[in-house]
Amino acid sequence: MKIIRAECMGFCAGVRRAVQCADKALLENKDGQVYTFGPLIHNPVALKNFEERGLKVLDENSINKIKKGDTVVIRAHGVTPEIFESLESTGAEIINGTCPIVQVNQKKCADYAKDGYIIFFTGDKDHGEVIGIEGAAKKAALEAGKKLNFILVKSVDELKDSAGPFLNKSNVVLLSQTTFSIKIFDEIASELKEKIPSIEIVKSICPATHERQSSLDKLCAQVEGVIVIGGKNSANTTRLFNKAQKLCVHAALIENASEIPEEFFALKTVGLTAGASTPDDVIDEVEKKLLSNHEI
């Protein structure tokens, strides 16, 4: 069997940075508890490893557990300004692991909200990054005495109901979650441009997202089947899998080596790609099992 890895796969720079922040906090904080606000990354294998090392996860309802001397790592997705202020007020050490690209996106949305823009935003409603960005826009609009219009859309079909009230407006902008599908973003941008010619289009999708999707195109042309490795709750991993299904007869989404479908052991060439939250060692385990064809 021949294994071909995608040219771009696995940890993106933002996730790697957040993981390094958590690693460092666990090594250095010997007296207090180390927390992350929300799951550090969307990968159950990595999360289990961190849990075994003592890392605990917080949500809005458990901030009152934090004590002085504890450490809180903010994950790559970021948080709302209100959450950040609440965490700071505990007296714990706050390590901001928010991806720099997400931070830029937060600032852009906040600036547009402050200027009274109607913001169309492509993304997933309950995703941590989207919640943080909308929160930053909401705070900026409130401080500027403006009404926030933040319209979240995931497809062209959703524009039928949401774009109507804003067709004659001049201060309209489109931005995106950093891991959103480039293809769907372009479709939404084209449709909005037709309805609102003056709209500003800000392509705030992370370059790593584009690189992973482009690498998958090249990979699928060289193999009989593709395995996408990553958390099944990861938005960018799921989008890679959806694309792989369209490009390959054999496509699977797995979280670890034990989930490799039997059909892949009979193929002569197998491609591997992985979401932005997938650790290197998990990818290595999958390749090792495919080549050995027995339980690791």
Catalytic residue list: 129
Task: Specify whether the CB–CB gap between 139 and 165 falls below 8 A.
Answer: no
CB of 38 closer than 8 Å to CB of 128: yes
- Across 238-253, b (16+ Cβ under 10 Å) vs e yields bbbbebbeeebebbbb
Q: Give how far Cα 172 sits from Cα of 136, 155, 256, Å.
A: 18, 18, 43
Tokens at 248, concatenated: 């390959």
DSSP 8-state class, residue 238: H
| Rounded-to-integer distance, Cα 205 and Cα 196, Å | 21
Alpha carbon of 199 to those of 173, 175, 177: distances in Å? 5, 11, 18
- Specify the 3-state DSSP secondary structure of 211: helix
Report the chain's C-alpha Rg in angstroms.
21
Q: Angle between the 81-88 and 128-143 helix axes, to the nearest 10 degrees?
A: 90
Counting beta carbons within 10 angstroms of the beta carbon of residue 64, is it exposed (0 to 12), middle (13 to 18) or buried (19 or more)? exposed
Distance, CA of 267 to chain centre? 31
Q: How far apart are CA 29 and CA 268, in angstroms?
A: 48
Q: What is the DSSP secondary-structure string of 149-169? A: EEEEESSGGGHHHHSGGGTT-
